[in-house]
Amino acid sequence: IGDRTAEAIKMNLGSAIEVENESDMIVKGRDMTTGLPKTVTIYTNEIYHCLKEMLDTIGEEARLVLEATPPELAGDIIERGVMVTGGGALIQGIDRMLSEKLQVPVMVAENPLQSVAIGTGILLNRIKADRGIFSGLRRLFSSKKVVMNPTANMIDDERKEEA
């Protein structure tokens, strides 16, 4: 199958939890063994099992972020919960799965795709208006020698390499 078909499958059948009443989708593509055209029916729980490892990683990374959260902010998160935005928020059951992993309320934004763009715009306006927080973050990262590792696309602490 091509990228557009894969995206359609994810959007229509993607789920972060196993479901009892599965949806299905007829997919047309090329059989990887024979090379011939083929039609198959796929089900929600099949896609769940394909996404599970990636979603578990997202849940674990979110848990690590919450563990490092200052106590004052943690109190707000316990009261107000976490808001999920972006395309991943459209995956069925993502809020329930994350809530179980994080042990805090998790909600999907009303317009998850638009909220990312709106939030980015607010942040960019804030950068122009108040550079204080960003210079503070710059000082924090430089004092801890934290750099972006472009090959892993993750933050890498150079102090570990020095040890």
72 within some domain: yes
Q: Domain residues for 49?
A: 3-129
How far from 163 is each of 3, 141, 145, CA to CA, in Å?
Answer: 43, 19, 13
Whether residue 93 lies inside any domain: the answer is yes
C-alpha 86, offset from chain centre? 8
pLDDT tens column, 89-121: 989 999 999 999 999 999 999 888 888 888 888
Sign of CA dihedral 28, 36, 3, 52: positive
Q: Return the CATH number at 43.
A: 3.30.420.40
Query: How many CB atoms neighbour CB 131 within 10 A?
Result: 11
pLDDT, tens digit (0-9, with 9 covering 90-100), for 13-27: 989 999 999 899 999
In the block, tokens 């959007």 appear at: 11
**DSSP β-ladder status, 37-43 and 24-30:** antiparallel
What is the count of structural domains for the chain?
1
134 pLDDT exceeds 80?
no
For residue 143, which amino acid is it? S
CA dihedral 143, 148, 149, 153 (to 10 degrees): 140
- Per-residue pLDDT tens digits for 36-88: 999 999 999 999 999 999 999 999 999 998 888 888 888 888 889 999 998 88
Does 17 fall in a domain? yes
